[in-house]
Structure 1
Amino acid sequence: MHPRSSGGLRLAARAELVTLVVLLANLFTVHLQPVSSLMGPTHGCAYLFVVIATWRLDGATTAARALAVVPGIGGLLALRQVDRADAADAPPDEVVPS
């Protein structure tokens, strides 16, 4: 997997978490309707993007796909799982004799 292939997924996973935090903070504090009206659909779109992008990602394991469905932090957990799988598949670094 190339870093470019998961760039949109990384952005959407962060946006999903940030919008969820903003929604919850708004809910438990001032509860402004314009904030909810803006952040709700933004969070929903980010969540759907994360789930679909993870399922379409070539290097995604079954565990990563399952984690992507978890609202809020699932996208970041899925990316972590994909990165671990990539690191395990990568050839070991060459040791240069001194």
Structure 2
Amino acid sequence: MRTLRIAAAAEAISLAALLINLATIHTKAITALGGPVHGMAYLATIACTWMTPTATSTARWLAAIPGIGGLLVLRRIQPEGA
């Protein structure tokens, strides 16, 4: 779960940084660094979701949504008491 939380946060933050960069100054260095970071975080989110035993098929499909999929998965599979 910890790895999934980190990957989901990195995915959302990197996508936000890429979109802000696109809307404002469009620096190539940010794009060159942020693109691969977002891609790897996206893949890590999907992989961690599929390896989580409590993830339902709906949660696994939610992981495929770029940017917010990991956060949606975390909300769905989090225990009731947490």
TM-score range, shorter chain: over 0.9
Q: Which runs of 4+ in 1 moved over 6 A?
A: none
| Deviation of the 1:46 alpha carbon | 0.1
1:31 aligns to what SS in structure 2? coil
Match of residue 20 from structure 1 = 15
1:35 aligns to what SS in structure 2? helix
- The root-mean-square deviation of aligned C-alpha atoms, in Å, is 1.0
1:73 to 60, 68, 73: 68
Q: Where does 1:7-86 land on structure 2 (aligned, <5 Å)?
A: 7-83=2-78, 86=79
Structure 1 unmatched ranges of 5 or more: 1-5, 91-98
Structure 2 unmatched ranges of 5 or more: none
2:67 aligns to what SS in structure 1? coil
Which is higher, the Rg of structure 1 or of structure 2? Answer: 1
Instruction: Tell me the distance in 2 between the aligned counterparts of 1:52 and 1:12.
Output: 10
How many residues align? The count is 81
| Deviation of the 1:63 alpha carbon | 1.1
